[in-house]
Amino acid sequence: MTVRVRFAPSPTGNLHIGSARTAVFNWLFARHHGGKFILRIEDTDLERSRPEYTDNILEGLRWLGLNWDEGPFFQSQRLDSYKEAVQKLLDQGLAYRCYTTSEELETLREAQKARGEAPRYDNRHRNLTPEQRAAFEAEGRSSVIRFKIDDEREIVWNDLVRGKMSWRGSDLGGDMVIARASEEGSGQPLYNFVVVVDDIDMQITHVIRGEDHIANTAKQILLYEAMEAKVPEFSHTPLILNRQGQKLSKRDGVTSISDFQQMGFTAEGLVNYMTLLGWSPPDSTPEIFTLEEAAKEFGFERVNKAGAKFDWDKLDWLNS
């Protein structure tokens, strides 16, 4: 099996250090196994995606020396593949049109809240008759596409960083929306769905991404099964934390790669430091290394589960 991994940033901001560290781990893993590192730009969010952010991401990756083997692929150019995949799930009866209005959903949520329950869609349009569908359409309602989720399912995977992970179908919020509403056909396909279509088409063997995606993985595994594709391995890497132990964010000041570059940090120092944010080299390996040297040793058995605290002193030391 050839290892194929991907880095899949959304161009809704400059290349952030957390995202760049995910790219570093993907690159190291691909190089360690003589595999392929694929770049995919996830620009389906038309309102928030900007070409200047894509440029910033590509420039940042190049500057850091994270060369990719395939891509960049743009999700905005793959809409036909997503439409086709939605249609297939509809034809197989694994997905359906849901005509529930936002007001109805709001009422449902309020009632659940009043009962102290977590909000979830109650699958009310899962088994509509053709007559009921026609009646909703005659009313002029638009429909989203929902994918059926079996509440009884237990979804289990062996995460390469976190070990055995297990979710119940009933914790996934009811049948999930995979495409937005539109007057005819299916509307804009949504994140959890397009990622799976892409990862299948691009033959991704290992999905390496931040732990903020763990909750998506359970849903995505169900989609792989529905599309009769092999489920890849998953590695959810620890978040980068600020001094207070919270997720590093824009509020913490410098967080984008171009900021570090402008401050005069070297690419070699910064990638060296990012590699150490969550990974530790084997005992006999020095802490100062090139990406190629780190790739020889890199594996997920030495990636921490706990968040990695950002340490300016250490970055300064490595940089000097």
Binding-site member from 4, 5, 8, 60 for ligand GLU (CB under 6 A)? 8
Assess contact for 185 and 142: CB atoms under 8 A. no
Residue by residue, what is the 3-state secondary structure of 146-161?
Answer: EECCCCCCEEEEEECC
Contact between 38 and ligand GLU (CB under 6 A)? Answer: no
Assess contact for 23 and 57: CB atoms under 8 A. no
Distance CA 135, CA 129 (A): 10
The count of chain residues that interact with ligand GLU, using the rule CB under 6 A, is 7
Instruction: From 5-13, 135-143, 149-157, 165-173, give the range in contact with ligand GLU by CB under 6 A.
Output: 5-13
Distance CA 207, CA 215 (A): 14
Q: Is 180 helix (H, G, I), strand (E, B) or coil?
A: strand
Binding-site member from 5, 10, 174, 238 for ligand GLU (CB under 6 A)? 10
Of 25 and 289, the one with the shorter C-beta distance to ligand GLU is 25
Contact between 89 and ligand GLU (CB under 6 A)? Answer: no
Burial (CB count within 10 angstroms: exposed 0-12, middle 13-18, buried 19+), residue 228: exposed
Of 21 and 125, the one with the shorter C-beta distance to ligand GLU is 21
Of 10 and 256, the one with the shorter C-beta distance to ligand GLU is 10
Q: What is the CA radius of gyration of the chain?
A: 22
| Type of residue numbered 204 | I
How many beta carbons lie within 10 A of that of residue 92, not counting itself?
A: 11
Binding-site member from 36, 162, 209, 219 for ligand GLU (CB under 6 A)? 209
Residue 250 is among the residues annotated as catalytic for this protein? yes
CB of 10 to ligand GLU, least distance (A): 4
Contact between 213 and ligand GLU (CB under 6 A)? Answer: yes
Residues 149 to 208 in contact with ligand GLU, rule: CB under 6 A = 195
Interface with ligand GLU by CB under 6 A: which residues?
8-10, 42, 195, 209, 213
